[in-house]
């Protein structure tokens, strides 16, 4: 693991992308033992492990990964509000995965093809997130175009998380991406999948006063504090211990 801190200019970017991966990884970990079928349990754990791996690399660029994960307060986490949303039912988890992994694949794709500091890391991660997107896409199609019940749940999951999606396209300091293109590509990709799944693209606001999303500024939604308390509990109870 590369422990050399990157140039200070890159730290905010590594922290934002690393926190996204860390927090979503924790949420997916909560599914362990609770997934609808055993095979799906393995798939979700696999995705969580990929994300945790990404988080470790990114956070190590900033400082000590454990300190950053376990000893920071809520207000200093820079993850998107989307990834901290509770799992809800399986459909809502899949909606979150679809929105986020499509974003991650497009973003890392852009970074991998550039020559920025994150290019090598993005090139490795983009293969993983392509699989995550594929997994989310297939479940979106199955649930959306499944039974009336699963269709309704998938639509509700997509609708409920829509207001958190605008935040993904706010430029992150130090990330050299074409954010407008990212947003256009994301809308097209997600729109196509939802269309094929016989679902309606939600039309609520995604940014502005009535939408949510200030995670990048350290403002988080209520469920996040509870999640952090659980995640950090042991480390805070036994500070300085070696595991």
Partner 1 sequence: MTSSDWPLWEVFVRSRRGLSHTHAGSLHAPDAEMALRNARDLYTRRSEGVSLWVVPSSAITASSPDEKDPFFEPAADKPYRHPTFYEIPEGVRHL
Q: Pick the closer one to partner 1 by CB: 36 or 120.
A: 36
Minimal distance, residue 210 CB to partner 1, in Å: 38
Q: Pick the closer one to partner 1 by CB: 6 or 130.
A: 130
Instruction: Report the alpha-carbon distance of residue 220 to residue 231 in Å, rounded.
Output: 16
Encoded tokens for 169: 């396209």
Q: With the C-alpha atoms ordered 119, 120, 121, 122, is the resulting torsion angle positive or negative?
A: positive
Q: Pick the closer one to partner 1 by CB: 44 or 68.
A: 44
Q: Pick the closer one to partner 1 by CB: 27 or 135.
A: 135
Q: With the C-alpha atoms ordered 109, 59, 163, 179, is the resulting torsion angle positive or negative?
A: negative
Q: Pick the closer one to partner 1 by CB: 37 or 209.
A: 37
Residues in contact with partner 1 by the rule CB under 8 A: 36-39, 42-43, 46, 131, 134-135, 138, 142
Instruction: Report the alpha-carbon distance of residue 138 to residue 197 in Å, rounded.
Output: 9
Encoded tokens for 206: 């995604």
Which residues make Cβ contacts (< 8 Å) with residue 62, sequence separation at least 6? 5, 6, 11, 14, 15, 18, 68
Minimal distance, residue 130 CB to partner 1, in Å: 11
The answer to whether 185 touches 45, Cβ cutoff 8 Å, is no
Q: Pick the closer one to partner 1 by CB: 37 or 241.
A: 37
Minimal distance, residue 39 CB to partner 1, in Å: 4
Compute CA 137 distance to the chain's CA centroid, rounded to the nearest angstrom: 15
What one-character DSSP code corresponds to residue 230? Answer: H
Minimal distance, residue 52 CB to partner 1, in Å: 15
């Amino acid at each position: 693991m590369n422990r050399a801190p990157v140039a200070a200019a890159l730290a905010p970017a590594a922290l934002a992308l690393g926190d996204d991966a860390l927090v979503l990884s924790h949420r997916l970990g909560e599914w362990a033992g609770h997934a609808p079928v055993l095979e799906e349990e393995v798939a979700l754990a696999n995705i969580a492990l990929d994300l945790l791996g990404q988080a470790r690399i990114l956070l190590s660029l900033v400082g000590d990964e454990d300190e950053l994960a376990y000893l920071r307060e809520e207000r200093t986490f820079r993850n998107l509000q989307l990834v901290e949303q509770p799992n809800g039912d399986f459909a809502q988890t899949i909606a979150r995965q679809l929105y986020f992994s499509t974003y991650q694949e497009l973003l890392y794709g852009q970074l991998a093809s550039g020559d920025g500091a994150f290019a090598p890391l993005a090139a490795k991660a983009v293969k993983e997130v392509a699989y995550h997107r594929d997994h989310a896409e297939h479940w979106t199609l199955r649930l959306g175009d499944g039974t009336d019940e699963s269709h309704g749940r998938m639509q509700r999951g997509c609708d409920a998380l829509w207001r958190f999606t605008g935040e993904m396209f706010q430029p992150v300091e130090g990330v050299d991406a074409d954010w407008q293109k990212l947003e256009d590509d994301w809308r097209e990709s997600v729109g196509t999948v939802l269309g094929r799944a016989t679902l309606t693209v939600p039309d609520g606001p995604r940014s502005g006063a009535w939408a949510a999303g200030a995670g990048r500024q350290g403002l988080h939604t209520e469920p996040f504090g509870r999640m952090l308390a659980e995640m950090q509990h042991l480390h805070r109870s036994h500070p300085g211990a070696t595991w």
